[in-house]
Structure 1
Amino acid sequence: MLANFEQTQSGYIARFERRFRHEAQDVWAMLTDNEKLTQWFGELRVEELREGGAMLFDMGDGAFERMTIMAMTPQAVLEYEWGEDRVRFELEPQDEGSSLILIETIGTVTAHTARDLAGWQVCLDVIAALLDGRPIPQRKEEWARQYAEYAKLTESYLA
């Protein structure tokens, strides 16, 4: 299921929603424990987990992009810069598990937007597989399939 994508007065919002049969603290650990984080997003690390702290994105050439954490409430909210945009994870305990909402706030839709959205879609699928102990989906193939869908979804909004 694709993210809900809508235009707002200040840009765009992509909203992904997932339910897990796992406790909120287990999902939170996937987002904030570097050992678990690297299993689903190898380039991303927590430098300092606090508001004003940072996430680090490994550019693959020895350089790291530092992304400021804008909001952090343990086991509930993690929001940080994502280039010119922002990503926000909202986690809530539910009966028999938890729900996770990922919101990417996008200022301008570019050719790269569909790539990011497809990437988040696959990352969420990988988190679910890891938590469930299932085989991890074929990321490249799944990303390519999702990218085609997100490219169609965002093409009319391209700057």
Structure 2
Amino acid sequence: MEEIQLTIATLMKDENGYTAEYVRQLKQPSEKVWNSITNNEKLKKWMDHLEIVDLRKNGKILFHYNDGSDQFEEMVITDYEEHSMIEFEWGEDFVRFEVIQTDEGTTLIMKESIHHLTDHTPKDLAGWQVCLMHLANVINDESVEVPDNEWEKWFEIYNTLLEQYK
């Protein structure tokens, strides 16, 4: 089993609000990482709310509520570069994945722009933390169980981190 460094996101303040940046060093090639992010069969294994409908700039991603209501939101892919970067709407914010081939494998950078910090922000950051854990399992073809309550641990960490920005 490949050990993944589970560092927390770095939160940076800028003129537009904040950016949370997660960086993961993976031993797998960039093609496999990219496929795990953009192939719907792989995507549903680590973020089952998302479905890519049209993979291109100005294309479309659906966010399914998965609550039995069959409701979803359409999100626009705002920036895209085949095999290296995808950015899409996330409410009034944006999420961006960058895939960079390295000599050791791949650097995966996930950024969430956050216009306003809210009481929900630590839950959102903890959710991405856990999704990235699941993504690493998909990329590494592992079936390591991530406990259902794992996000609660990360919620406390991010809640504490965000206290300094209030």
> TM-score, structure 1 length as denominator?
0.94
Report the counterpart of residue 87 of structure 1 in structure 2.
95
Alpha-carbon RMSD: 1.3
**Is the 8 Å Cα contact of residues 122 and 139 (structure 1) preserved in structure 2?**
no
Q: After the TM superposition, which of the residue ranges 56-65 and 69-78 deviates more from structure 2?
A: 56-65
Distance 2:145 2:108 in 1: 19
**Is the 8 Å Cα contact of residues 89 and 101 (structure 1) preserved in structure 2?**
yes
Question: Once the 2 structures are TM-superposed, how far is the Cα of residue 26 of structure 1 from its aligned partner?
Answer: 0.6
Unaligned 5+ segments in structure 2 are 1-6
Note if 1:11 corresponds to 2:21: no
Question: Once the 2 structures are TM-superposed, how far is the Cα of residue 139 of structure 1 from its aligned partner?
Answer: 4.0
Note if 1:102 corresponds to 2:110: yes
Matched ranges for 1:74-153 at <5 A: 74-153=82-161
Question: Once the 2 structures are TM-superposed, how far is the Cα of residue 146 of structure 1 from its aligned partner?
Answer: 0.5
Give the total of aligned pairs.
158
Report the counterpart of residue 72 of structure 2 in structure 1.
64
Q: Which amino acid aligns with 1:103?
A: K
Q: Which has the higher helix share?
A: 1
SS at 2:12 equivalent: strand
Q: Which amino acid aligns with 1:48?
A: D
Report the counterpart of residue 30 of structure 1 in structure 2.
36
Q: Structure 2 vs 1, CA of residues 137 and 5 (structure 1 numbering), >3 Å: closer, same or farther? A: farther
Q: Which amino acid aligns with 1:47?
A: V
Q: After the TM superposition, which of the residue ranges 138-147 and 82-91 deviates more from structure 2?
A: 138-147
Unaligned 5+ segments in structure 1 are none
Distance 2:150 2:92 in 1: 26
Q: Which amino acid aligns with 2:109?
A: I
> TM-score, structure 2 length as denominator?
0.90
Encode CA deviations 1:66-112: one digit per residue, 9 max, x unaligned: 11000110111100000110001111111131111001010000111
